[in-house]
Amino acid sequence: MRNDINASIKLTNGVEIPALGLGVWKVEDEGELRIAVKAALRAGYRHIDTAAVYGNEDMVGRAVEDFCDRKDIFITTKLWNTEHERAEAAFEKSLKNLRTDYVDLYLIHWPSPAVGNYVAAWKTLADLYKSGRARAVGVSNFHAGHIEKAADAAGFLPHMDQVERHPLFQQKDLEIYCRKNNIALTAYSPLGSGRLDQMAPKLQTLADKYGKTAAQIILRWQFQTGWVFIPKSVKPERISENAHIFDFELSGDDMDYIAALDCGTRFAHDADSAQF
Ligand code: NDP
């Protein structure tokens, strides 16, 4: 894999997903979003992660249209839980919002057994993939059991599982399962979703050693473990900081040190107990 801002991960179907993406969850102000997208493009990002439920697909669509060529950017969006049985209509709506006729990656946002029907949704996503309107399809917040059930019903494995992952919550069992089945992995909340302060003290020695920030140490670890990672920031200087992780390499011992920080601390919901 190349070691620069254009580094990408190859999915089983050959589609390349840029390893670094810009997350835009909770970015509700269009001015703020446009500043973030512009800063990200300037820093070399070529990947944006949004979702229908974020309510900003239309803003992302306008920013992409105004600031770059559609073909130069990888767009991920997600199907919301209440739309599992209307996945095709929801997909069309996302395309319209994003002002595009295809997405690069379409994900089922949550298995959501409480309100949704992820098996039905997965069958539709498999059809959308076959139609070419989604270059790749996958899932998010799925455990191995959810993937097995959906894949058995549709005869088709996801290209990607996007899950919470940071040093305090490393998803090691899911990683083993996905590697075995050639399913790529994306780390959401790669910096702990605003709880960086809970990790930074443990990483300060490494930050000093490499002359980097704690955030950069975490993102470099995400990269060296072969995960896609999608840090969110609306601050141009942090967007740039989060991209400057390709000019150093964590040693094996330092990777082991971070691996040992895993303590099962999840900040988001668990798919099995979520009631939405
Ligand atoms: P992150 O782990 O990316 O952390 C974002 C927070 O960290 C923000 O408060 C941001 O503040 C701050 N931050 C960013 N960079 C730095 C830095 N260099 N130094 C200090 N603070 C920093 O959290 P998210 O939960 O937003 O996850 C990222 C993306 O993952 C989301 O935006 C979304 O696209 C996706 N996601 C997907 C989910 C799913 O269910 N599939 C669930 C949650 C997230 P500021 O903006 O002020 O810089």
Please compute the mean of the pLDDT values over residues 84-113 and round it to a whole number. 98
Contact criterion met (CB below 8 Å) for 222 and 231: no
Handedness of CA 96, 101, 105, 107 (dihedral sign): positive
Q: Any idea which residue has 């964590």 for tokens?
A: 250
DSSP-derived secondary structure for 183-196: -EEEEESTT-TT-G
pLDDT at 1 over 90: no
Query: Is CATH 1.20.140.10 the right assignment for the domain spanning 8-259?
Result: no
Closest ligand 1 atom, CA of 231? 3
Residue 48 Cα, ligand 1 centroid: separation in angstroms? Answer: 12
* 194 CA from centroid of ligand 1 (Å): 6
Q: Compute the 3-state secondary structure of the chain and give helix, strand, coil in percent, each to the nearest 5.
A: 45, 15, 40
Closest CA to 168 of 267, 261, 269: 261
Whole-number average pLDDT of the chain: 98
Ligand 1 neighbours (beta carbon < 6 A): 23-25, 49, 109, 140-141, 162, 188-194, 196, 215, 230-235, 238, 241-242, 268
User: H-type helices in 113-235, by residue range?
Assistant: 118-131, 144-154, 172-180, 200-210, 214-224
Query: What pLDDT does residue 64 have?
Result: 98
54 among known catalytic residues = yes
- CB within 8 A of 235, min separation 6: which ones? none
Looking at the chain, the whole-number percentage of residues with pLDDT higher than 90 is 99
Of 54, 106, 129, 210, the active-site residue reads 54
Kindly report whether the global pTM for this prediction surpasses the value 0.75.
yes
Residue with CA closest to ligand 1 atom 37: 188
What ranges do the domains of the chain cover? 8-259
255 CA distance to ligand 1 middle (Å): 22
d(CA 97, CA 107): 16
Q: How far is the CA of 189 from the centre of ligand 1 (A)?
A: 5
Strand segments, DSSP code E, in the chain are 8-10, 16-18, 22-23, 47-49, 74-79, 105-108, 137-140, 160-164, 184-188, 228-229
For residue 108, give every residue at least 6 positions away whose Cβ sits within 8 Å of its Cβ, in sequence order, or none.
78, 79, 84, 118, 121, 122, 125, 138, 139, 140, 142, 150
Asked if 115 contacts 276 with a C-beta cutoff of 8 angstroms, the reply is yes
What pLDDT is recorded for position 188? Answer: 98
Residue 36 pLDDT class (50, 70, 90 cuts): very high
Residue 144 has pLDDT above 90, yes or no: yes
- pLDDT at 94 (0 to 100): 99
Q: What's the confidence (pLDDT) of residue 106?
A: 99
* CA–CA–CA angle 235, 32, 165 (5° rounding): 55
Per-residue pLDDT reduced to its tens digit, 192-231:
999 999 999 999 999 999 999 999 999 999 999 999 999 9
Strand, coil or helix: 229: strand
pLDDT of residue 108: 98
pLDDT in tens, 153-177: 999 999 999 999 999 999 999 999 9
From the CA of 163, give the closest atom in ligand 1: 41
